[in-house]
């Protein structure tokens, strides 16, 4: 079970504390078990500092606490604080990764049978889509939906999302696309062939959480080869 430690203190020596934290990271490189650390200051009281540190488990947090470097850094940390820091130990019982959910919902919507959903709950009205298969970027929700309809008209397909990594206002998905060629695609008549394509999509999110920009990277050459479009060139 993921474990989170909440550390609160008061200090007027934030610059020194930042240098101390950098020193700690350097000294414990390869040994520190934390997976994510975030430090914030109270907007109404800049001396109030809160650090949130995430660990894979309580046991890993204890192993981190028992490092000799941790004990030394803690004593120096206390010296920089106006009062003794407080610790709150939290077992994570709910963890909503909102960006990942939006990314997976987007790929699921693209494969929905029947009419393509409006997508206005997922995509920004001025969304930009960058795809190397197109000579120009696709701009705007209506144009993006038209592009997705082109793919849906040419193929019956499904995405398997292998990985989603999110940081800040961006997320990246690695996926596998399995499809049956049923309609015209870039001038290639329907072949009925089963095709597979791998790729990645980078997403940028707007302030309201909707997808504002997409960058597609996929094995376009491999797809065209599977459709027989390169046969004449190979002879």
Q: Is pLDDT of 85 > 70?
A: yes
- 3-state class percentages of the chain: helix first, strand second, coil last, to nearest 5: 30, 40, 30
Q: Which domains does the chain have, with CATH numbers?
A: 3-91 (3.30.70.100), 98-234 (3.10.450.50)
Nearest to 127 by CA among 192, 186, 208: 208
Write out the two tokens for 154.
Answer: 């040419």
Contact 45, 129 (CB under 8 A): no
Between residues 36 and 152, which one has the greater pLDDT?
152
- Return the pLDDT at 4: 93
Task: Report the percentage of the chain scoring pLDDT > 90.
Answer: 63
> Is the model's pLDDT at 147 over the cut of 80?
yes
Arithmetic mean of pLDDT over the chain: 90
Burial, 163: exposed, middle or buried (Cβ in 10 Å; 0-12, 13-18, 19+)? exposed
List pLDDT tens digits, range 98-120. 899 999 999 999 999 989 999 99
**189: enclosing H helix or E strand:** none
Q: Are 52 and 9 in contact (CB under 8 A)?
A: no
Q: pTM for this one?
A: 0.72
């Amino acid at each position: 079970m993921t474990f989170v430690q909440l550390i609160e203190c008061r200090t007027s020596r934030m610059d020194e504390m930042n240098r101390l934290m950098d020193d700690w990271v350097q000294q414990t490189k390869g040994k520190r078990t934390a997976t994510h650390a975030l430090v914030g200051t109270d907007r109404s009281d800049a001396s109030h500092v809160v650090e949130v540190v995430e660990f894979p488990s309580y046991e890993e947090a204890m192993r981190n606490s028992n490092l000799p470097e941790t004990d030394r850094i803690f004593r120096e940390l206390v010296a920089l604080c106006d009062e003794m820091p407080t610790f709150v130990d939290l077992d994570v019982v709910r963890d909503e990764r909102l960006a990942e959910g939006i990314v997976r919902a987007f790929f699921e919507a693209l494969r929905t049978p029947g009419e393509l959903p409006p997508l206005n709950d997922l995509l920004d009205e001025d969304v930009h889509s960058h795809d190397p298969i197109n000579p120009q970027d696709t701009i705007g929700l209506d144009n993006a939906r038209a592009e997705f309809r082109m793919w849906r008209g040419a193929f019956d397909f499904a995405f398997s999302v292998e990985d989603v990594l999110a940081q800040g206002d961006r997320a990246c998905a690695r996926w596998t696309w399995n499809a049956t060629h049923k309609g015209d695609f870039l001038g290639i008549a329907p072949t009925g062939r089963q095709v597979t394509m791998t790729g990645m999509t980078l997403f940028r999110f707007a302030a309201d959480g909707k997808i504002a920009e997409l960058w597609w990277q996929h094995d376009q050459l491999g797809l065209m080869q599977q459709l027989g479009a390169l046969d004449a060139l190979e002879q």
